[in-house]
Structure 1
Amino acid sequence: MDKYLIRKPRTQDSSLVQASSPVQDSSLVQDSFPVQDSSSSSKRIRVDFNLENLLSDPGLRQKISSYHPNNQDEIRRYYLAKGPCQPPMHDYPVSYFSGKPRRFRSEWYVNRNWLEYSIDKDAAFCFYCYLFGQDVGKQGGVDCIRFLLCRELAFRGHDEFQGSSDKGNFLELLQFLGDHNESINEVLQNVPKNCKLTHHDIQKDIVNAIARETSKDIITDLDNGFFSILVDESRDISVKEQMALVLRYVNKKGIIIERFLGIVYVASTTALSLKYAIDCLLCEHNLSLSKLRGQGYDGASNMQSDINGLKTLIMKENKSAFYVHCFAHQLQLTLVAVAKNHINIAEFFYVVSNLVTVVGDSCKRRDTLRDAQFAKIKEDLENGVRRSGQGLNQETSLKRPGDTRWGSYYGTILNLILMFSAVVDVFEIIEEDGLSDQKVEARSIMRDHK
């Protein structure tokens, strides 16, 4: 329709046009000259405001960029005339960093006319950075770190140089975020190279800051209430002895909550060393043993000994901290002991482990097992032996059971029952086409199962 419409240049105000043609219908006038709302106009109107209502606390102020551009210089002059917020006689609260008390001091104001303190946030600010600093917005690094932490992904790559095809999860995710966000990309492109905040030391600092804030939320949710602790060994890939501590408590809604509080390196696993590590970790988060109402560990002698065990050392300070032996650990010890002492049960699980090992020894055998199971299910469906529907006849596999998770044996046995005919087909193929030692092993296992 544009080629049939000839737009006339607007030389007069809309009110004059309406006055010169009073017989014209109002709808036609609106179609010819659409009236724009004042809020959508590109020309912003200066808004009057009271300077006395501007907040002095730097933690509560609005950004300079949030004000109208015509008012920003006036606001800057007002704050410059008023000076930085430096409350001299305030009772600064104490905060703990790495277990050490720290607090703001009014002596720091001397020869630092740029320094400000926020009573509301209990934090220090730069006065001139607030007035004249560039509002560059979010860099995106914290969001990337939070994403990687929530999904327990590694941060760094083997080659993080500029021309690398894989710089690691953090840098690649940050670049991906910049490619899809114009404001973040502008920051990444224009920020000085020494201020990108992408170095691995900066990453560790941000991770530690996130950990502290998360711990603060846990302690806030606890709200100075009673709690129990769960302690166990947590050895990492570096083979360092570490102690993991979990808080268990009831929140304000009456819901039982379990929260991981921290992991501590311990050079020794004696009861005294573990007791000292627990005291330090609780003290770091302003928690007292007087609020402890339960302690749960495994059955190791350094934990449950009635003479010098960890539970005894804690109960000497707090008799209300009752000890509960981990039920899962008790069940684990019972099942393992029964299986080892009963020859038939021990032999059965030994054969099951060997069977799973032989079937899963190579990718080719796994594919053969999968094809045999698929053919069996298809045949049963055609003969009406099996039912079809959502969630039925899903693909299953045989996983090697683990002694530390006794429930894995149960899952392995269930899958073995479902796939037994397919497993037999795989062993028959091994007896026919396998090597000599494989044929002997397959025949021996099948003879034991029969």
Structure 2
Amino acid sequence: MKELGEAVGSTIDFRDSRPNSRVTVRWGVNEELDRLKRDYNGMEDLLSQVVSDLSNELPEWARNIVTSCIFWPQLGFLTMVPLYPDTEEPMYDGQGLDCDNWQIMFSAERKAYYKNRRMRELDAHLGDIKDLEVEILHNLAVDVMVHEDALLAAADICGELDALVAMTLAAGKYGWTAPKLTMSNVLSIRAGRHPLQELVLPLYIPNDCYLSGGEDYETPGLGHESRSSGHSPMSTSTCASMTVLTGPNHSGKSVYLKQVALITYLAHVGSYVPAEEAIVGLTDKILTRLSTRETVSRNESSFAVDLKQVAFCLKSASRRSLVLVDEFGKGTTSDDGAGLMAALVNHFVSLRTKKPRVLAATHFHEIFEGRYVSKSPYLTLAHMDIRLDLTYTTLDAEDFSRLRDAEDAARRFLNVSLRNLAIGVVGDVGHARNTLRGVLYEDTGSNCHL
């Protein structure tokens, strides 16, 4: 490997390759290539000599007209001929040279640019540089490919080492902890956080997650793992396999679903996780219905795409899977959407020993109010509780959304204190309070304590 690295380093000029936007060969590798490069680097002297040789071939009357040549990277070497001011025709275009074909390439700024025999010879000369470099680099590639297996093995080791170092640094820098992987089909997370979201917010509220999927007779459930680790589950339903989460927009429901998936994934790749404590049962798949990627190239509506995603989750989920569903059913009428969501919940909780671990977020409160979802020990209802106090002047943990256990997921509590309204509101504070009360009652249809 050392000799191979030295061979590559002694052949390729990495410093010169960047400004030229191509791989270049070092000086001293090939004598013929070095000679051609010297000619190319002395371009001004070379062009002067070419003009002198070309002038000797021209008729005597044209020698004072053709006095210069230039090099264009896209077109190569060209001979410049001035134009007549009145007719804008070239003063010379190869008359008297029967063995030479003067081909006009373009005209600009009262000059015509021609390709002739001399210019084509120079183009071939420059092409020899590139041909020689391609040949040298090809021979180097052949020598490198002999060691292909060793190079790929080394790249895999370096990639794995780089990933381990990155995960180690992240764990130490952001306060991650070592998860516990278990054969039990459980997911028990205490004070879990989203590894990216917490980096861009001034304050991020951690949340718990407790789920237990279908078990066989040989593996214990969540209760056993919780007792052995000292966990305090969020409710008495420690064997729930599905949690349905409600809450207002921008309260963190989607972020919560994603953070649970990320913690599960990080635990399986050998990383520490952003949580105070995590017990993660072996998971075979993480199945999601989180976002709809719409595109004009597919003749499908966003609702049809949602249905296909959910159908794939239903077909592919096993008792070892983690399923995340966010706002399923919003792409159709409210009644149809609520019915689809209720059917999905009832399906997952009816699987018993084959039930996967499921997290779902929804705005369809009516499926719980109308008892369209049957009560089950495998189902937990929760909501994002927002506590707002307008007397606060600084951000605090209580100002942010936090997951709370709820017996009735349709109830939302918005505690608003308007006693000391010092945020620049002009007008009758009492009128503003009454208006806000009416809007909240009309919009949410829930118990709002003002």
Give the TM interval when normalised to the shorter protein. under 0.3
Higher helix share: 1
Higher strand share: 2
User: TM-score, normalising length from structure 2?
Assistant: 0.22
User: TM-score, normalising length from structure 1?
Assistant: 0.22
Larger relative contact order (CA 8 Å, sep ≥ 6): 2
